[in-house]
Amino acid sequence: MSIVRLLLSPVLLVLICYTGWSQADTKADPKPDVGIIPVEHKKQKRLVLFPVIVKSPEYLWGAGVAGTFFFKLWHDSTTRTSNLKNVSFYTVRNQLVLASDGTIYFPNEKFILHFIASFSHFPDRFWGLGNETPSENQEKYSISQYDLYPQLLRKVWSDFYLGVSYEFQNVYNFDYNRDGTSLFDLQNITGRNGGKISGAGLLFTWDSRNNAFSPSKGFYMQYFTGYYGNFIGSDFNFTIRNLDVRKYFSMSKDRVLAFQLNLISTIGDTPVRDLASIGSNSYMRGYYEGRYTDRTMIAVQAEWRVPVTERWGFTTFAGAGRVAGSLNDVFQLQSLKPSFGIGIRYALRPKEKLNLRLDVGFGKKSQGTYINLGEAF
């Protein structure tokens, strides 16, 4: 899976503190967030800045800076809070990541704009294609790339949106062992020499969630189909389809039961960085991102979220998934990989339900620790 998707939820941990700042607001917040330095005239805090460390199986450890800016284009109860996020960090594996991620809700949510832009130098791991690749297959490689990925959604009716997207990615450096023994050569992996992808997509979205950061009720479904071809500047011709379905149940004492199904399928000359894989900070937690990679992927998970105090909470989660070479093969249940774990939540902004999360996930002969901003799904 492209690192663009990996960066949708940057891996963050507050190291020291964070501070708030805002422009003038016509309505003062009568109860400033605890831990945020108050601003004169009780202006609502809009910008959260903090140093960070990063932790995941892909990064191991790293450090950097991050910031999140909250705003509303129109002050009404029907429009969710927009946000812009930026993160820059460097890891002990000599990985450098610079990324921006934003979601802007226009008045009455008639339009929703989401975008991601990133640059990365990323030493990584590869085990070959398939759902049963042995651990001893592991080999190192590294890439340098930059990405741009905007999406624009238009409300059609009630909670239903139609949208368009565009993705440009340039992998301008792809280094691996080129002595003829590498899996990249033996399996004739597409994209092992780098290259550009350029593609347009359509999105069909139903979104009735009550909160974008930490939903407690509602339904979300998005179907994406994207075509990448030579006629729009791509070095590869392929198609990606993704179905993402989520359901949230509000239980007693503010507890939440959440479910997700994620199905990804690629067709054509798909480069390795855009294939489907299990293991991420969002689904199949406990596996290295890309540990199992192929043309299709299915993953299901459930999560039980329990608040303890106004700021603290915990979760338990479990799921299963697998990859395969075709859409028909991905539904073979006997080859599913398990995923389960526990997590801790701390509300950076209780009003916006923006949580810092620490998850410990376990898979088949695998374990991962994740520190993230926002819920997994």
**6 pLDDT exceeds 50?**
no
Rounded CA separation 58/130 (Å): 19
Q: What pLDDT score was predicted for residue 67?
A: 85
Nearest to 7 by CA among 74, 97, 79, 132: 97
Residue 90's φ and ψ, nearest 5 degrees, are: -130, 140
Higher pLDDT, 94 or 23: 94
Average pLDDT of the chain to the nearest whole number? 85
Question: How high is the pLDDT of residue 242?
Answer: 97
Is pLDDT above 50 for 8? no
Task: Decide if 108 contacts 77 (C-beta within 8 A).
Answer: no
Residue 145 dihedral angles phi and psi, to the nearest 5°: -160, 165
Q: How confident is the model at residue 27 (pLDDT cuts 50, 70, 90)?
A: very low
| Residue 126 pLDDT | 95
Considering only CA atoms, which of 166, 123, 134 is closest in space to residue 3?
A: 123
Average pLDDT over residues 4-27: 35
If pLDDT is split at 50, 70 and 90, which confidence band does 140 have? very high
The mean pLDDT of 206-222, rounded to a whole number, is 91
pLDDT band at 280 (very low <50, low <70, confident <90, very high): confident
pLDDT of residue 186: 94
Give the pLDDT score at 281.
Answer: 86
Q: Which tens digits make up the pLDDT trace of 160-169?
A: 999 999 999 9
Q: Report pLDDT for 312.
A: 95
Highest mean pLDDT among 51-60, 83-92, 195-204: 195-204
Average pLDDT of the segment spanning 336-360: 89
pLDDT digits (tens, 9 = 90+) for 54-70: 778 888 888 899 888 88
**Mean pLDDT for the stretch of residues 354-376:** 88
At residue 52 the predicted structure's pLDDT band, cuts being 50, 70 and 90, is: confident
Question: 197, 167 in Cβ contact below 8 A?
Answer: yes
**Residues 269/346, Cβ–Cβ less than 8 Å:** no
Predicted pLDDT at 173: 94
250 Cβ contact list (under 8 Å, min separation 6): 216, 217, 256
| Domain 3-373 belongs in CATH node 2.40.160.50 | yes
Phi-psi label, residue 79: left if phi above 0, alpha if psi -120 to 50, beta otherwise: beta
Instruction: Read off the pLDDT of each residue in 1-10 and give the average, rounded to a whole number.
Output: 42
Check whether 217 has a pLDDT greater than 80.
Answer: yes
3-state SS assignment for residue 7: coil
> Which is more confidently placed, 279 or 125?
125
What is residue 154's predicted lDDT score, i.e. its pLDDT? 96
Residue 293 φ then ψ, to 5°: -135, 140
| Residue for token pair 């290295």 | 288
Dump pLDDT digits (tens) for 236-276: 999 999 999 999 999 998 899 999 999 999 999 999 999 99
pLDDT single digits (tens) 294-329: 999 999 999 999 999 989 999 999 999 999 999 989
Read off the tokens for 347.
Answer: 């509300």
The answer, yes or no, to whether residue 221 has pLDDT greater than 90, is: yes
**Helix residue spans in the chain (DSSP H):** 3-6, 183-186
Q: What length is written for the chain? A: 377
**Does the structure show a pLDDT above 50 at 332?**
yes
Residue 376 near residue 281 (C-beta atoms within 8 A): yes
pLDDT of residue 102: 92
Of 85 and 52, the structure prediction assigns the larger pLDDT to: 85
CA–CA dist 262, 377 (Å, integer): 11
CA distance 14 to 16: 6
